[in-house]
Structure 1
Amino acid sequence: MEITESYDAESLSAAKDLIGEYAEFLGFNLDFQDFAEEMREFPGQYSPPDGCLMLARYNDQIAGCIALRKLDSDRCEMKRLFVRPGFRGKGIGRRLADKLIGRARDMGYMVMRLDTVPQLESANVLYEKMGFKDIAPYYHNPIDGARFMELEL
């Protein structure tokens, strides 16, 4: 398995497709996150120097993605962690998250935040195992049971 941070046209197209699959997988409307604008401006906030976008390849197939965006000078947010169904259970999500956390540290961030929802059970377990702690909401999320978490880097 290989995880890369790449911004060439092919990688950006693959990442955008994956994020679209992620949105469909969630099964609820992401308008509260300005998702349509995010897709129009892609990679937008996930671009260097303040953001980051990574792809995971497994046996030369695009398996998953993860992104990071700046919240403020010290804090960033993990976004769009998604592993395609056929590649789940292989530790890809964990490796993507580990690599993103390392990259956030290299970028000088002190804290990483995220939000998640109850139906993403394996993601919630992963975040807890990685040391993320529950925090008060830092933006409006209308999804019942939305959970906000933070990790000191």
Structure 2
Amino acid sequence: MMSVQVSPVRSSEDIDDVRTLVWEFFDFLRVRYPEMLETIDNYLVEQDVAGELAAFERFFLPPHGECFLARLNDQPVGLVMMKPHGENDAEMNRMYVRDAARGHGIGRKLGQALVDEARRQGLGAVWLDALYRHVEALPLYESLDFEYFTDPEAFGGDDERVLHMKLELR
């Protein structure tokens, strides 16, 4: 029987597992979107992903943010990160589940954990950006009641390959 646990990241071991999964996520994106390598590389620089991961506690642990790690049979297999967005909102970042662990509802559990935490904190909305062929994630986001919107100021600007979504919590 498969055992899935989703919990907030707190230990240094958890943080190391998250760092590994984040880089796997970007490797996955490079394979899935070979036509977008420049966009992905620009994102890594603009968002200072390496810097955020190096200073993980300042970005993804309370009171600044949150990160949830999924384990399948005690092995790290997925993550989702939450960081502040504006004054009273959050941004969902880097939801990822390893290929071998898909089909167990892990993405749903991660997404729901983040939404529940944002509600618990009394936030107004959760924002996210996703790439257009992210066929595993888009239906999940929709089922969590995220809605599409247009934002030419967001990452990717008016690039139709970058989809912007928002979940109003109030």
Q: TM-score, normalised by structure 1?
A: 0.92
Superposition deviation, residue 144 in structure 1: 4.9
Pair 1:122-2:122 in alignment: no
C-alpha deviations, 1:75-126, integer Å up to 9, x for none? 1000010001100111100110001100111112110000000121111111
Counterpart position of 1:48? 62
SS of the residue corresponding to residue 50 of structure 1 reads: coil
Superposition deviation, residue 37 in structure 1: 2.3
Pair 1:146-2:149 in alignment: no
Q: Percent identity?
A: 31
Pair 1:8-2:11 in alignment: yes
C-alpha separation between the residues in 1 aligned to 2:57 and 2:131? 24
Q: May I ask how many residue pairs the two structures share in their alignment? A: 153
Listed as ranges, the gaps of 5+ residues in structure 1 are none
Larger radius of gyration, structure 1 or 2?
Answer: 2
AA paired with 1:139? A
Listed as ranges, the gaps of 5+ residues in structure 2 are 31-39
Superposition deviation, residue 20 in structure 1: 0.9
Superposition deviation, residue 33 in structure 1: 2.4
| 8 Å Cα contact 2:58-2:64 kept in structure 1 | no
Counterpart position of 2:79? 65
C-alpha separation between the residues in 2 aligned to 1:141 and 1:34? 15
Bigger drift between 3-12 and 37-46 goes to: 37-46
C-alpha separation between the residues in 2 aligned to 1:49 and 1:125? 30
C-alpha deviations, 1:122-153, integer Å up to 9, x for none? 11111112111112225232665100000011
C-alpha separation between the residues in 1 aligned to 2:160 and 2:27? 18
C-alpha separation between the residues in 1 aligned to 2:160 and 2:149? 16
| 8 Å Cα contact 1:74-1:110 kept in structure 2 | yes
Q: TM-score, normalised by structure 2?
A: 0.83
